[in-house]
């Protein structure tokens, strides 16, 4: 069991945003976290990466929790934020080196991985540049490279598809597939439902801070036979938002 | 649009007033009064030695007046969001800019009047210039500034690149020629020419702007730079949140980084050291205080005063560097790296030790150069070592942990 979230209640202030959320991400599995703006996706992610502390419930990663062994917990996670976050004073090469140092990676093996990734995302000739000045898509690629040079057991990817060019989306999906084959779990939040429908193994649908439904696409479809054929249709009817055609 | 500028100007003035109050605090006003008084006294003493034979002074006056034309820019008070929100009302922006021009015009001309007044005694002493001629010269100066301000407004529109390249240098050159004619030949000639130039520039502007588009991005950048200059000035006296340091690559300092250990326990050190060297905010602070401290130390003899200054400056630098510890708190990765907070603090303490040691050594050299004996240098070395140890191991930990 890679990630287990059980009965999580949490949020930023006294008022909980998340109301009793439970789901899991198994090794070798890509789970899509789907929900409207404000449904609680980012809050869930912030709880998992340890920026927020649960009010109730438990988050465990291979039986380690943040409370029992924070360093062992954090070492298993790689995170790709929705908006790229970069150090203004570090070059691209130094961003990679910083990640290697912080995660205690073997430099030689990590650089081999890094060089492959840099080539895929066509960043290999920009090692001495400041990525803070890159375009949004390129910054996002830097985030992807930094995340995938780690040996994380769980990748958390927040809305990766907006801002990336189609080639990069394809390459990212391929990287996720390879990470899965190596036994890592991936939790990905997204609004791009048709890509998610094809790529994700299972889905967790959040609505107003609660898990509305979860399971494989086939399971969800079987549960809601009248809701439609695509994830998009099912999701729209599940949110209960009725609108004129 | 007219109300918009009025509204922004009020807000701008309120803000300036708030900062000016901080800058001109009691101590500074007293110091400034002494400074201006001393300057005036020196100037009036020097004037007594000036006579009609010192004709070179006319050249200096000309250059002062010419260079003085550069003081005073157009405060457009444009904001980045304007490129989106005001875009549909681009034509009306001219009214707004005229308002901006009017406000800036008065401000700039007051400075010009002051500038001419300062040079009047020189002109009377050297040139025996008459009162009416002085008035003509004053109007010349104001007309030249008027032309320059009109050109500044014209520049806010997108001009032909070639025109844009030569019109500003041409304006400066013509201004120089007019001032030279005014001082050497006749102020009346320069008066006519300057008024002609100002009128020509207004005419050109009137012809040009209805057919031109606003250079939004350049204008916003220009205004941001203007404000940054003002904020930088205020930042010398107080903390201005709008002044964020920039980043410079500083490749020539890379050799410093090679000395530092590179492993998991020093990951934050890797980040801190690069941030310290390449960010201008904190490195500038250290450099400024170190240079000022070293100069003061050198000139204050080698007694207790120098030692006290040394202690105060090292404390000041160390104390002001403490916020750097939180420099990367808004970067989520620093919270999710599998690194202990203890390591982070230890890495920061190491950086603090390195920076303060360099400063301490520079101070010791300045102290030694002021003819201190080796025994005195030795005493200061011990004092520095103890102070840095206390600052880093005790005070920094107390404040940050």
Establish if B238 belongs to a structural domain: no
Q: What is the pLDDT of residues B227-277, one digit of tens each?
A: 988 887 887 676 677 777 788 899 999 999 998 999 999 999 999 999 999
Q: What is the pLDDT of residues B279-305, one digit of tens each?
A: 988 888 898 889 888 888 888 777 788
Find out whether A203 and A41 touch, Cβ atoms under 8 Å: no
Residue in B with minimal Cα distance to A146: B333
Same domain for B229 and B360, yes or no, is no
Taking contacts as CB-CB distances below 8 angstroms, the residues of chain A near B331 are 85-87
Same domain for B222 and B297, yes or no, is no
Residue A136 — φ and ψ, nearest 5°? -60, -45
Instruction: Say which of B247, B277, B338 has its CB closest to residue A88.
Output: B247
Partner A contacted by B260 (CB < 8 A): no
Q: What is the pLDDT of residues A18-38, one digit of tens each?
A: 999 999 999 999 999 999 888
Same domain for B303 and B181, yes or no, is no
End-to-end CA distance of chain B: 52
Q: At what angle do helices B341-369 and B267-278 cross, to 10 degrees?
A: 40
pLDDT of residue B196 exceeding 90, the answer is: yes
Establish if B25 belongs to a structural domain: yes
pLDDT of residue A165 exceeding 50, the answer is: yes
Q: What is the pLDDT of residues A106-135, one digit of tens each?
A: 999 999 999 999 999 999 999 999 999 999
Tell me if B249 and A104 make a contact (CB, 8 A cut-off): no
Taking contacts as CB-CB distances below 8 angstroms, the residues of chain A near B247 are 88-89, 130, 132
Give Cα A118 to chain centroid, integer Å. 20
What pLDDT, on a 0 to 100 scale, did the predictor assign at position A243? 55
Taking contacts as CB-CB distances below 8 angstroms, the residues of chain B near A101 are 262-264, 266-267, 270
Q: What domains lie within chain A, and their CATH numbers?
A: 1-76+152-245 (3.40.50.300), 84-151 (no CATH)
Percent residues over pLDDT 90 in chain B: 58
Tokens of B30: 């007293």
What pLDDT, on a 0 to 100 scale, did the predictor assign at position B304? 84
Same domain for B294 and B225, yes or no, is no
Distance CA B250, CA A130 (A): 12
Distance CA B224, CA B230 (A): 10
Same domain for B166 and B271, yes or no, is no
Q: pTM (2 decimals)?
A: 0.74
Instruction: Say which of A50, A86, A91 has its CB closest to residue B336.
Output: A50
Write down the ipTM of this complex: 0.93
What pLDDT, on a 0 to 100 scale, did the predictor assign at position A245? 47
Cβ neighbour number for residue A31 with a 10 Å cutoff? 22
Partner A contacted by B337 (CB < 8 A): yes
Tokens of B134: 């002085």
Q: Coil, helix or strand for A40?
A: coil
pLDDT of residue A89 exceeding 60, the answer is: yes
pLDDT range class, residue A241, cuts 50, 70, 90 = low
Tokens of A188: 């990905």
Which of A188, A190, A137 shows the shortest CA–CA distance to A164? A137
Same domain for B87 and B189, yes or no, is yes
Same domain for B173 and B289, yes or no, is no
Interface of chain A against chain B, CB under 8 Å? 49-51, 70-75, 77, 79, 81, 85-91, 94, 97-98, 101-104, 130, 132
Same domain for B187 and B299, yes or no, is no
Tell me if B270 and A72 make a contact (CB, 8 A cut-off): no
Same domain for B195 and B284, yes or no, is no
Percent residues over pLDDT 70 in chain B: 99
Q: What is the pLDDT of residues B202-218, one digit of tens each?
A: 999 999 999 999 999 99
Residue A119 — φ and ψ, nearest 5°? -65, -45
Tokens of B286: 């250290």
Same domain for B351 and B202, yes or no, is no
Establish if B240 belongs to a structural domain: no
Q: Coil, helix or strand for B395?
A: helix
Establish if B239 belongs to a structural domain: no
Structural domain ending residue among the three candidates B233, B259, B290: B233
Establish if B337 belongs to a structural domain: yes
Sequence-distant (6+) residues with CB within 8 A of A148 are: A78, A113, A117, A155, A175, A179
Establish if B74 belongs to a structural domain: yes
Q: Which helix (H) or strand (E) holds A7?
A: strand A3-10
Establish if B246 belongs to a structural domain: no
Distance CA B200, CA B196 (A): 6
Tell me if B331 and A85 make a contact (CB, 8 A cut-off): yes
Sequence-distant (6+) residues with CB within 8 A of B397 are: B345, B349
Structural domain ending residue among the three candidates B200, B233, B266: B233
Q: Could you give the C-alpha distances from B159 to B5, B94, B212, in angstroms and in order?
A: 24, 15, 7
Same domain for B186 and B228, yes or no, is yes
Cβ neighbour number for residue A93 with a 10 Å cutoff? 16
Three-state SS for A44-75 is: HHHHHCCCCCCCEEEEEECCEECCCCHHHHHH
What pLDDT, on a 0 to 100 scale, did the predictor assign at position A9? 93
Q: What average pLDDT does range A68-83 have in this prediction? A: 94
Q: Which domain holds residue B327?
A: 251-400
Number of domains in chain B: 2
DSSP of B163-219, one letter per residue? HHHHHHHHHHHHHHHHHHHHHHT-HHHHHHHHHHHHHHHHHHHHHHGGGS-B-HHHH
Taking contacts as CB-CB distances below 8 angstroms, the residues of chain B near A130 are 247, 249
Q: What is the pLDDT of residues B9-48, one digit of tens each?
A: 999 999 999 888 888 877 778 878 887 888 888 888 888 8
Structural domain ending residue among the three candidates B233, B261, B288: B233
Q: What average pLDDT does range B105-112 have in this prediction? A: 94
Which of B343, B336, B334 shows the shortest CA–CA distance to A154? B336
pLDDT of residue A202 exceeding 90, the answer is: yes
Taking contacts as CB-CB distances below 8 angstroms, the residues of chain B near A71 are 338-340
Taking contacts as CB-CB distances below 8 angstroms, the residues of chain B near A158 are none
Establish if B61 belongs to a structural domain: yes
Same domain for B214 and B269, yes or no, is no
């Amino acid at each position: 069991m890679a990630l287990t979230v059980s009965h999580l209640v949490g949020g930023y202030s006294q008022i909980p945003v998340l109301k009793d959320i439970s789901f899991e991400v198994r090794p070798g599995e890509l789970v899509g976290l789907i929900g409207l703006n404000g449904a609680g996706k980012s809050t869930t992610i912030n709880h998992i990466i340890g920026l927020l502390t649960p009010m109730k419930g438990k988050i465990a990663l291979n039986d380690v929790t943040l409370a029992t062994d924070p360093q062992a917990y954090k070492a298993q996670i790689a995170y790709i934020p929705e908006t790229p976050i970069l150090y203004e004073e570090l070059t691209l090469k130094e961003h990679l080196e910083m990640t290697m140092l912080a995660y205690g990676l073997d430099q030689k093996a990590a650089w081999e991985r890094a060089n492959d990734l840099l080539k895929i995302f066509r960043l290999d000739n920009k090692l001495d540049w400041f990525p803070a000045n890159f375009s949004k898509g390129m910054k996002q690629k830097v985030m992807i490279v930094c995340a995938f040079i780690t040996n994380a057991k769980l990748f958390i990817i927040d809305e990766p598809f907006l801002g990336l060019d189609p080639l990069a989306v394809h390459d990212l999906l391929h990287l996720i597939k390879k990470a899965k084959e190596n036994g890592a779990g991936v939790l990905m939040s997204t609004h791009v439902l048709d890509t998610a429908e094809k790529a994700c193994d299972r889905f967790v649908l959040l609505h107003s801070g609660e898990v509305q439904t979860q399971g494989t696409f086939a399971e969800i479809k079987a549960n809601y036979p009248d809701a439609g054929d695509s994830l998009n249709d099912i999701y729209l009817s599940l949110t209960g938002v009725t609108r004129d055609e | 649009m007219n109300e918009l500028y009025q509204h922004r100007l009020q807000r701008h003035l309120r803000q300036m007033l708030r900062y000016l109050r901080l800058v001109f605090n009691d101590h500074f006003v007293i110091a400034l009064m002494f400074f201006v008084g001393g300057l005036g006294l020196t100037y009036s003493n020097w004037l007594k030695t000036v006579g009609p034979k010192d004709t070179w002074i006319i050249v200096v006056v000309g250059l002062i007046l010419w260079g003085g034309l550069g003081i005073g820019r157009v405060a457009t008070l444009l904001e980045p969001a304007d490129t989106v929100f005001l875009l549909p009302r681009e034509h009306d922006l001219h009214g707004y800019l005229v308002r901006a021009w009017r406000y800036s015009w008065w401000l700039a001309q007051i400075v010009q009047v002051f500038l001419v007044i300062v040079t009047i005694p020189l002109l009377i002493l050297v040139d025996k210039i008459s009162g009416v001629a002085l008035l003509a010269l004053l109007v010349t100066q104001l007309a030249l500034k008027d032309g320059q301000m009109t050109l500044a407004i014209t520049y806010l529109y997108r001009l032909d690149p070639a025109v844009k390249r030569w019109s500003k240098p041409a304006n400066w050159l013509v201004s120089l020629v007019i001032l030279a004619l005014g001082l050497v030949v006749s102020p009346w000639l320069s008066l006519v020419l300057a008024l002609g130039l100002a009128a020509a520039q207004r005419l050109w502007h009137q012809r040009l702007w209805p057919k031109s588009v606003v250079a939004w991005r350049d204008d916003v950048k220009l205004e941001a730079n203007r404000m940054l200059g003002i904020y930088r000035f205020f930042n010398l006296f107080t903390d201005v949140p709008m002044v964020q340091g920039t980043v410079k690559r500083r490749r020539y300092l890379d050799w410093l980084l090679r000395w530092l250990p590179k492993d998991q326990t020093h990951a934050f050190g890797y980040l801190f050291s690069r941030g310290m060297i390449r960010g201008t905010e904190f490195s500038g602070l250290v450099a400024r205080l170190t240079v000022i401290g070293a100069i003061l130390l050198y000139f204050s003899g080698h007694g207790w005063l120098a030692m006290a200054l040394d202690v105060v400056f090292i404390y000041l630098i160390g104390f002001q560097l403490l916020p750097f510890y939180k420099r990367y708190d808004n970067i989520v990765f620093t919270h999710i790296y599998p690194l202990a907070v203890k390591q982070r603090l230890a890495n920061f303490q190491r950086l603090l030790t390195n920076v303060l040691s360099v400063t301490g050594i520079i101070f010791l050299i300045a102290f030694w150069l002021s003819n201190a004996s080796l025994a005195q240098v030795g005493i200061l070395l011990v004092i520095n070592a103890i102070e840095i140890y206390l600052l880093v191991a005790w005070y920094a930990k107390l404040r940050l942990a």
